[in-house]
Amino acid sequence: MKNAIKFNKVTERLPKHLHQFIVKQPYDEYTAQNQAVWRYVMRMNIDFLSKVAHESYLEGLKKTGISENEIPKMEGMNRILKDIGWAAVSVDGFIPPNAFMEFQAYNVLVIASDIRTIDHLEYTPAPDIIHEAAGHAPIIANPEYAEYLRRFGEIGCKAISSSEDYEMYEAIRLLSILKEDPNSSEEEIENAQQKVEALQNTMSELSEMAQIRNLHWWTVEYGLIGTLENPKIYGAGLLSSIGESKKCLTNEVKKVPYSIEAATQNFDITKPQPQLFVTPDFSHLSFVLEEFANKMALRTGGLSGVQKLIKSKNIGTVELSTGLQISGVFSNVINDDNNKPIYIQTVGPTALASRDKELIGHGIAYHTEGFGSPLGKLKGINLAIEDMFPKDLEVYGIYEGKKTTLLFEGNIKVEGEVITGKRDLKGKILLISFKNCTVTHNDKVLFQPTWGIYDMAVGKEIISAHAGPASVNSFKNLGEVSSTKTRKITYSEEALRLHKMYKEIAEMRKTGEVDFKELTLIFEKLKLNFSTDWLLPLEMYELVYQSNTPIETEILDYLAQLQKMKKHEQLIVNGIRLISK
């Protein structure tokens, strides 16, 4: 990460692995046309949303320092956001869902640094600064909603993904990038669209991450609040979309009471939504979130939790009943006839922790090739090892220097010489280390003496399983930044001339001094060279409105001619209406 990115009291708490997703906001790269797009969308939205958005919206815009006239600078937003305990960082388009939610857990808004093009002014298939800053930021000024957002991130970043999820993420990221880039070919877009559809058609059972991502979409992104008959808007996707914010309140879009059923309702990020969920209030969002969390492996653990981690093929953590946490890529689990896990195995670098802090000497530098351990009680002994006092351990031959054989209920046998044990602060034994150790399950060898020291985890059962490591400091290269980058638009000489004209008009508006002669010259150039551009003449018309000059009539007549092209008719009509208010 570049030194130019400044951290504050909120963002400096972010774990190091999240830094790789942060980019410096390319403020100098925003064109004058980009600024005009921001201004048009924001003014339209504020005008309309003041009547139909949740009451927190307008007040939130003021509290978060977002102006309708210019794209916000991240530094300026952060100076104001810190007063409500939040911050914002700039990123390149979509980032992986786990990372996105982990930022949220630290009270940090992730804001895509690009801005939609004029061709996608009403709706963009890609995340942009209008969606993120003007959509997400205002509602977090509401304390109850802000806590829901933080809590969602905290739970969501622990959701277990499947290996298919990341492939889908990459496919959607590419499709959104291509659709937003005016230089993309139709063939490129069609191929990317087919890839997304093919993945959707072959996806197996929805993973935890896919389900919680659905909940996030139908609340944080596309949520309505209030009654089914008269809902208000609070979702960022709706708050930032001129087209959808109006359409969503009509009978064209079905309204459904928000419940945990939303977790299984998929969505298409590249199209307007045909159905939306309505929550009666913000507290109901938290109720549903907790209901879902109670079904997650995070809280249920067990065999299914480990199986989800194995399927994910990503770093995950299981927590045992002793509090010992094992983090790594899980590769195998052996279960008994009652579907209880009796042995777990990771492959590659693994770290052990307790209370989210890595155990000294048990990081990935030590457990480089994986970790395996039996679970459960010893055969014929009602007292589990974790519940034994020192005297009990001595009775059962578990003490330093003793050659012992431990036979677990699942027929896992550990034979070796005890070296030492490791306990937590309360004295509960977490780990027992052996030398000259052999571990078998029936006739299968799971560990042999030539492999070195055998560290055996102590725990009757798995009480939790979740994505990511227990200690954020255990794995240095956690997460992966997509190699597919948002495309920087290459502007032609002609487009750059148009942007210069936008800038000249913007300067007149900012200074409040309208040079009618210069404005007339710009207008003539516009008509001659950029006959399809409709936003700049609107910007001009605003400057000369009620000036009772010939140029005022000329621009209005020109806009009327542009309306006949139909493509931008409603955008022009809405712009004139707003100016004349």
Whether 201 and 340 share a structural domain: no
Average pLDDT value for residue range 484-499: 86
Measuring CA to CA, how many Å separate 276 from each of 72, 174, 273, 409?
29, 26, 7, 51
Residues 105, 176 within the same domain: yes
Report yes or no on 430 lying in a domain.
yes
Instruction: Provide the 10 A C-beta neighbour count for residue 49.
Output: 24
Domain boundary among 148, 175, 207: 207
Last residue of a domain, one of 433, 467, 501: 467
- CA-nearest of 85, 211, 213, 64 to 135 is 64
Is 450 inside any structural domain?
yes
- Which helix (H) or strand (E) covers residue 498, if one does? helix 493-511
pLDDT score recorded for residue 514: 93
Q: Phi/psi at 422 (nearest 5 deg)? A: -130, 130
On the question of pLDDT at 160 being above 50, the answer is: yes
- Read off the pLDDT of residues 318-361 as tens digits, 9 standing for 90 and up: 999 999 999 999 999 999 999 999 999 999 999 999 999 999 99
Is the confidence at residue 3, as pLDDT, over 60? no
Asked if 327 and 471 count as a contact pair (C-beta separation under 8 A), the reply is yes
10-67 tens-digit pLDDT: 888 898 889 888 988 889 999 999 999 999 998 998 888 888 999 999 888 888 878 8
Q: Does 478 fall in a domain? A: no
For residues 442 and 556, membership in a common domain is answered with: no
Range among 89-103, 219-233, 471-485 rated most confident: 219-233
Cα dihedral 228, 233, 237, 240 sign = positive
Do both 427 and 349 map to the same domain? yes
Q: With respect to residue 238, please indicate whether it lies within any of the assigned structural domains.
A: no
List Cβ neighbours of 337 (8 Å cut-off, separation of 6 or more).
Answer: none
CA distance 37 to 43: 10
Question: CA distances (Å), 40 to each of 16, 170, 242, 527, in order?
Answer: 38, 31, 10, 21
d(CA 412, CA 390): 23
Domain shared by 139 and 19, yes or no:
yes
Looking at the fold, whether 514 and 562 belong to one and the same domain comes out as yes
**Domain shared by 529 and 460, yes or no:** no
Residue pLDDT, tens place only, 523-566: 999 999 999 999 999 999 999 999 999 999 999 999 999 998 87
Strand partners, 391: none
Contacts of 225 (CB under 8 A, 6+ apart): 54, 231, 232, 233, 234, 278, 279, 280, 281, 282
Q: Is 375 helix (H, G, I), strand (E, B) or coil?
A: coil
The DSSP annotation for 64-116 comes to: TT--SSSPPPHHHHHHHHGGGT-EEEEESS---HHHHHHHHHTTEEEEES---
Task: Report which of residues 80 and 449 the model is more confident about.
Answer: 449
Q: Are the beta carbons of 332 and 350 closer than 8 angstroms?
A: no
> Which residues make beta-bridge pairs with 315?
329
User: How is residue 451 written in tokens?
Assistant: 């492999």
Contact 398, 432 (CB under 8 A): yes
In DSSP terms, which residues pair with 91 in a beta bridge? 22, 112
Q: Does residue 461 sit in the same domain as residue 498?
A: no
Is 366 part of any domain?
Answer: yes
Predicted confidence at residue 125, as pLDDT, reads: 67
Scored b (16 or more CB within 10 A) or e, 189-217 reads beebeebbeebeeebeebbbbbbbbbbbb
On the question of pLDDT at 182 being above 80, the answer is no
In terms of domains, do 36 and 185 share one? yes
pLDDT of 1 reads 40
- Are residues 439 and 325 part of one domain? yes
- What number is the average pLDDT over the span 407-433? 94
- Asked whether residue 60 is domain-assigned, the answer is yes
Amino acid at 278: V
Share of the chain above pLDDT 70, in %: 98
Q: Which of residues 316 and 483 earns the better pLDDT score? A: 316
pLDDT confidence of residue 2:
44
Per-residue pLDDT at 5 exceeds 70: no
Domain shared by 460 and 527, yes or no: no
Three-state DSSP at 132 gives: helix
Q: H or E stretch including 444?
A: strand 444-447
223: in domain = no
Reply yes or no on whether the pLDDT at 486 is more than 80: no
Each residue's pLDDT tens digit, 105-126: 999 988 888 888 888 887 776 7
Mean pLDDT of 491-505: 95
- On the question of pLDDT at 484 being above 90, the answer is no
199 inside domain: yes
Task: Report the pLDDT value the prediction gives residue 507, as an integer from 0 to 100.
Answer: 96
- The pTM (predicted TM-score) of the whole model is 0.87
What range defines the domain where residue 351 resides? 310-467
Q: Mean pLDDT of all residues in the chain?
A: 91
Six-digit token string for 455:
């560290």
270 confidence band (pLDDT: 50, 70, 90): low
Residue 196 has pLDDT above 50, yes or no: yes
- Which of 207, 225, 253 is the endpoint of a domain? 207
**Do 457 and 527 belong to one domain?**
no
How far does CA 159 lie from the centroid of its chain?
12
Write out pLDDT tens, residues 283-299: 999 999 999 999 999 99
Residues 385-409 as b/e (b if ≥16 CB within 10 A, e otherwise) read bbebeeeebeeeebeeeeeeebbbb
As for how many domains the chain has, the answer is: 3
Q: What local confidence, expressed as pLDDT, does residue 65 receive?
A: 76
Q: Identify the CATH number of the domain in which residue 70 sits.
A: 1.10.800.10
